[in-house]
Structure 1
């Protein structure tokens, strides 16, 4: 295997590891997931960001949805970095967005089988939006660097 192949393999390994992270978070029953959101809220509060004061009863909901968004923002960045090997950048963006969307769909289907969780198409849209924002930022950086 050449050095380039090892580099490409490593990029795909990072994507696979992140997919496992997403799967693991999605495997948490609702009470565990809510507890993790509560810890994030506590941590933000200790940093001086009063999430409860800003969002009130919606704080836990907002943190969970921000988590979805962030997971897939990172997923897209790792994915585009792997997919662009041997593909045009335009084609790579299309492939990465499609994979992001379909993995988000499979993630929501998976959650249908987790106690207290549900699969929602709105979450697929939030997840995919995380990938789309990452794509937009990367496209902006690409344009600026030309």
Structure 2
């Protein structure tokens, strides 16, 4: 098996694996999900960052929504890595965002059937924002590389 085929297989495994992780986390009842958020809050406090004193009651909300944003930014990076094998840069960016939006929508629909959870359009927007931010980072890196190439 050549390096290109290994890269394809590895990219597919990473993307599907990450989608599976998102699905599993979304399948947890609200009580378990809340425990994860509280654990993250405790870790942040242990690191000496007094998030509760800054944000008070909404600290858990911020942690949860930051997790949404981050997991879908990662989803975009993995979709981008895979799609780049098959498509040009423009199509990769467009279809990468479509994957993020589509998966965010199905994830929120899935949560309608999980005890204590609810599907929220707001979360789809936060998830999509994470994907768009990932796209912005990739385009910024490409732009910086282009400028460096011109200088050299």
What TM bracket, shorter-length normalisation?
over 0.9
Determine the structure 2 residue equivalent to 1:28. Answer: 28
Cα RMSD of the aligned pairs, angstroms, is: 0.9
Secondary structure in structure 1 of the residue aligned to 2:86: coil
Number of corresponding residues:
146
Residues 89-104 of structure 1 aligned to structure 2 (within 5 Å): 89-104=89-104
Cα distance in 1 between the residues matched to 2:50 and 2:142: 36
Determine the structure 2 residue equivalent to 1:40. Answer: 40
Determine the structure 2 residue equivalent to 1:16. Answer: 16
Which structure 1 residue ranges, 5 or more long, are not aligned?
Answer: none
- Whose Rg is larger? 2
Runs of 4+ in 1 over 3 A off after TM superposition: none
**Structure 1 length normalisation: TM-score?**
0.97
Residues 88-127 of structure 1 aligned to structure 2 (within 5 Å): 88-127=88-127
**Structure 2 length normalisation: TM-score?**
0.93
Cα distance in 2 between the residues matched to 1:85 and 1:134: 18
Secondary structure in structure 2 of the residue aligned to 1:48: coil
1:42-95 deviation digits (Å, cap 9, x = unpaired): 000000111111110001111111110010011111110110112111110000
- Kindly state the Cα deviation for residue 6 of structure 1 after the two structures are TM-superposed: 2.1
Cα distance in 2 between the residues matched to 1:67 and 1:93: 22
